[in-house]
Amino acid sequence: MSPLNPALIVLTLATGASKIAFAQNAEVPAVVPVTKAPFHLPIFSNQLVTLLNVTIPPGRTAGYHRHERDSAFVIIESARARVQVLGAEPIESQAPQGGVFYAGWANRPVTHEVTNVSANPFHVVGFELLYPDPGRFAPSTRAEVSAYQSVLDNERVRAWRLVLEPGQSAPAITTNAPGVRIVVRGGELAESEPSQPDRGMSLKAADFMWQDANVTRAVRNIGSTPIELVEFELK
């Protein structure tokens, strides 16, 4: 099967496009909620989001599961995946490590299964938005700090990528809305908040932090390896 743009998979999953009716004698597979799907581990939940850590081993399939909430996700470890929307032809593609995606599943729910056809794990960390309507929060722009590169901005979430080389720092920003930090590449990070001692962190890929609104923080890489973070603020 020829390579496809990773965005095509996201578009297909987000819209539930290309559905084909089952024949009357076809067996309907069992379908579970995404939080009960194989290799999908819920790792955090509050009144706003549920986070999922998804690691599909090589050759394994996360069987048919249903998405019904708007979701954002980050590729932690890239692998070629075969995605089959229920009743549609399968699609194979590979999204890059660090890729940031959004799917508006609240308006267009989708049921699919995902098979890892690569020799390495397929690893994704993402979250579902538990509140139905956008406009609840007004996130910051972070335009004053160029180290934060915008990677996603829509009616539900805004996201930035931050890459810090050893010894590099990012000036303070204020998170106007609550959100999530997801680690793509780990290392040793120091976080500074006004009137607080520096907070050292040993981060690894797929770690996450819930971030409250109205907090001002600066960060610097105090280790020997590059650090890559994706930070979301909710809308």
DSSP 36-63: GSTTEEEEEE-SSEEEEEEEE-TT-EEE
pLDDT exceeds 70 at position 235: yes
pLDDT exceeds 70 at position 20: no
Distance CA 6, CA 96 (A): 8
* pLDDT score recorded for residue 40: 98
* pLDDT score recorded for residue 76: 98
Q: pTM (2 decimals)?
A: 0.89
- Mean pLDDT, residues 158-179 taken together: 98
Q: Report residue 205 as tokens.
A: 């890929």
Query: Bigger pLDDT: 24 or 60?
Result: 60
Name the DSSP class of 35.
G
Question: Amino acid letter at 98?
Answer: G
Q: Report residue 218 as tokens.
A: 């600066």
Q: How confident is the model at residue 27 (pLDDT cuts 50, 70, 90)?
A: confident
User: What pLDDT digit, counting tens, does each position of 48-83 carry?
Assistant: 999 999 999 999 999 999 999 999 999 999 999 999
Q: Which of 109, 96, 40 is nearest to 69 (CA)?
A: 109
Domains of the chain: 6-129 (2.60.120.10), 149-234 (2.60.120.10)
Q: With pLDDT > 70 as the criterion, what percentage of the chain qualifies?
A: 89
Query: Bigger pLDDT: 17 or 192?
Result: 192
Q: How confident is the model at residue 26 (pLDDT cuts 50, 70, 90)?
A: low
User: What pLDDT digit, counting tens, does each position of 93-133 carry?
Assistant: 999 999 999 999 999 999 999 999 999 999 999 999 999 99
* pLDDT score recorded for residue 3: 38
Helices and strands, number each (H, E), in the chain: 1, 19
pLDDT exceeds 80 at position 11: no
Place of tokens 């609840």: 136
What Å distances lie between residue 67 and 15, 33, 116, 118, CA to CA? 11, 7, 19, 24
Name the DSSP class of 34.
G
* pLDDT score recorded for residue 99: 98
